[in-house]
Amino acid sequence: MEDRYRSEPLNRHHDRASFSCGVEVLDRYFQHQAGQDQRRGLAALYVLIDATTGALVGYHTLSTFSVFPKSLPAELTARLPRYETLPAILVGRLAVDRRYRGQGLGQLLLLDALARCLAISHDIGALVVVVEAKDDAARAFYEHHGFLPFADHEHRLYMPIATIAKLGL
Ligand SMILES: CC(C)(COP(=O)(O)OP(=O)(O)OC[C@H]1O[C@@H](n2cnc3c(N)ncnc32)[C@H](O)[C@@H]1OP(=O)(O)O)[C@@H](O)C(=O)NCCC(=O)NCCS
């Protein structure tokens, strides 16, 4: 299946207008703000394309991020120096078009985001990947894939880069 789909940076030739994941803020963001965020350096946008049809199946965003050590469990931070904040990568938004749901493409998109985070972490250093879940269903999706909740943030979850490194991506 992986051969059929490719991910690439968003560009102006991608058809964003017809994208619909059913969560209005994510649709509106992708249609009206994503390009601007990318140009301004606020987020890198990646899209998943069905190579056989050219259809845009989903998107995710990556940005640098930082977390307070006290937000993470002691076993992850106990042996670290007492830095004020710790480096992270944020998957701020991730969505699959409704027409392509339930075919493993959300997972493919997430694995693409994680593989990119792992590669980036070799260049800039990052302890964890953080995801923002827009609602309970999104939170359940990330928990299903092994993300752990922050103690002090209901809809924010994380996965250590060390865990991602073991996934063999
Ligand atoms: C969440 C979303 C990305 C899932 O995409 P999808 O293509 O339907 O999911 P997949 O088919 O890849 O599912 C992969 C696995 O995750 C599970 N899964 C999917 N959605 C889930 C959910 N809401 N809760 C728990 N598990 C979920 C599937 O059962 C499947 O499990 P399996 O591998 O054990 O069989 C998609 O529903 C979506 O875009 N939702 C709206 C936007 C959104 O909530 N984005 C997330 C955070 S901003």
How far is the centre of ligand 1, averaged over its atoms, from the C-alpha of 140 (Å)? 8
86-96 and 148-150 beta bridge pairing: unpaired
Spatial contact of 26 and 134, defined as CB atoms under 8 Å apart: yes
- List domains and CATH numbers for the chain: 2-165 (3.40.630.30)
Q: Give the chain's radius of gyration (CA, Å).
A: 16
Report whether residue 93 contacts ligand 1, using a CB cutoff of 6 Å: yes
Report whether residue 21 contacts ligand 1, using a CB cutoff of 6 Å: yes
Backbone angles phi, psi at 138, to 5 degrees: -65, -40
If you take atom 7 of ligand 1, which residue's CA is the nearest one?
106
Please determine, for residue 1, whether its predicted confidence score (pLDDT) is greater than 60: no
CA separation for the pair 35, 48 (Å, rounded): 16
Q: Is 142 a catalytic residue?
A: yes
Q: Which residues are CB-neighbours of 73 under 8 A, at least 6 positions away?
A: 148, 151
Report whether residue 141 contacts ligand 1, using a CB cutoff of 6 Å: yes
Per-residue pLDDT reduced to its tens digit, 52-70: 999 999 999 999 999 999 9
Spatial contact of 9 and 35, defined as CB atoms under 8 Å apart: no
pTM for the model stands at 0.96
Please determine, for residue 45, whether its predicted confidence score (pLDDT) is greater than 60: yes
If you take atom 22 of ligand 1, which residue's CA is the nearest one?
141
